[in-house]
Amino acid sequence: MMKFFRGLISQIRRLSKQISISILVSLFIALISRDKLTRLLFSGKSFSGRSFGHQFILFSFYFLAITLLIFVFFLLLNALFPKVSNRIIQPSVSSHNLQEVWIGSIKKWGDTLFKWRNSLQHNYFMRLSVGLLILGIGFSFMLLINNVLSTINTKTWHYEKLEAIPAESPIGIDFRLGSYQTARALVDSGFTQIRMDGVYYSIYPPLFNLLSLPYLLFSENNAYLIQVVLLFLTNLSCLVLVSLMTKEFVLSNIKVENKYLSILVSFIFITLLIYTFSSYGFLFSIERGNTDIFALFFSLLAIWIFLKYPEKIWIQVILLSIAAHLKIYPSVLFLLLSVTCLFIKKEYLKL
């Protein structure tokens, strides 16, 4: 078996130039003739009119088939006309020399990577620059996919600005029904019910309805505008908390000077700021006026206290309780608090 594989590798090395030429030529032919081949071999839609998955499968089939045909052509040419074949495809180096070239190239790349790694370990500015570059490329790709490629219809090849947010009229329907009108009904009924016919249709806990009472100082439309301002400021506050936690608890172990670390955190904050305020989630919350971000803010604040001051259990409990009364899902964080309480109790018992 080993003899077979050695012979196969030897044949591949000997035919490496034929294989390379076959791949390059077939790639070019498949690119320029994919539409004609599709109309010739398959009925129905053209290549451009098919879905991305079908296009990928068809192009792979064309590429592999043409590569095989060209490679077989070279083999026949070499068998029938060896002199002509040697003139067309003259191997530049022998198998032994080709192996030496590959080994030398690998060693050269290895030495370069080793030097670059040492530079990253000792050069703070270079390490920071690489981190910023990686973050910038990552967020650029996210913006490209979400905001650019989503507008290109590959079936009709038209620019289409998709209506990603299902808008309803009037704007802020969640806020109007779930916050303002329930608070109004609560006051009108003498704090006995949140709807005059007695039907409890609100999906929010009672504390949420009580926190909505200050909106009644304003008209419904003005209250919605205040809600929009609060949503913007709360999103901003969440980004600040995330940036501070990233700096203090994630990046603190990186051997970078404090001024460079501040630059890195500022870059993360600004990038998240741009991405958040152009994202579907934020725009949808503005259109509906919903309150998920308020629950997230109190949850992040509780996590910040948990990480910064783990002994202040009651502050964490109060913040998480508020978050859980706005939306039910932050209550899962109480499991984290329970583990912390058990750990602190165990440490105190030791003393």
Render pLDDT for 96-117 as a digit per residue (tens, 0 to 9): 455 565 566 666 766 777 777 7
- Give the pLDDT of residue 6: 55
CA distance 100 to 103: 5
Question: Which region among 8-22, 187-201, 224-238 has the lowest average model confidence (pLDDT)?
Answer: 8-22
- Give the pLDDT of residue 348: 46
- Give the pLDDT of residue 275: 81
CA distance 154 to 79: 45
Q: Please report which confidence band the pLDDT of residue 227 belongs to, taking 50, 70 and 90 as the band edges.
A: very high
- Give the pLDDT of residue 47: 76
- Give the pLDDT of residue 197: 59
3-state secondary structure of 153: strand
Instruction: Give the residue-averaged pLDDT of 266-291.
Output: 85
Nearest residue to 89 via CA among 70, 105, 102:
70
338 or 103: which carries more pLDDT confidence?
338
Q: Give the containing element (helix H, strand E) for 159.
A: strand 158-159
- In this prediction the pTM is 0.57
CA distance 332 to 350: 29
Instruction: Give the residue-averaged pLDDT of 215-243.
Output: 92
Q: Which amino acid, 258? A: N
Looking at residue 248, the DSSP 8-state letter turns out to be: I
Instruction: Give 271-275's long-range contacts (Cβ < 8 A, gap of 24+).
Output: 271/135, 271/136, 271/139, 272/239, 272/242, 272/243, 273/236, 273/239, 274/139, 275/139, 275/142, 275/143
Render pLDDT for 153-198 as a digit per residue (tens, 0 to 9): 777 777 777 666 777 888 888 898 888 888 888 888 787 776 655 5
- Give the pLDDT of residue 224: 93
Nearest residue to 315 via CA among 344, 337, 297:
337
Contact 128, 256 (CB under 8 A): yes
- Give the pLDDT of residue 80: 58
- In the predicted model, what is the mean pLDDT of the chain? 75
Render pLDDT for 300-313 as a digit per residue (tens, 0 to 9): 898 888 888 877 88
CA distance 311 to 336: 13
Quote the longest CA-to-CA distance of the chain.
Answer: 103
Cα distances (angstroms) measured from residue 274 to each of 3, 222, 227: 60, 27, 21
Take residue 12 and report the two structure tokens written for it: 């591949």
315 or 87: which carries more pLDDT confidence?
315
- What is the per-residue burial (b if ≥16 Cβ within 10 Å, else e) of 96-129? eebeeeeeeeeeeeeeeeeeeeeeeeeebeebbe
89 or 106: which carries more pLDDT confidence?
106
CB atoms within 10 A of CB 185: 17
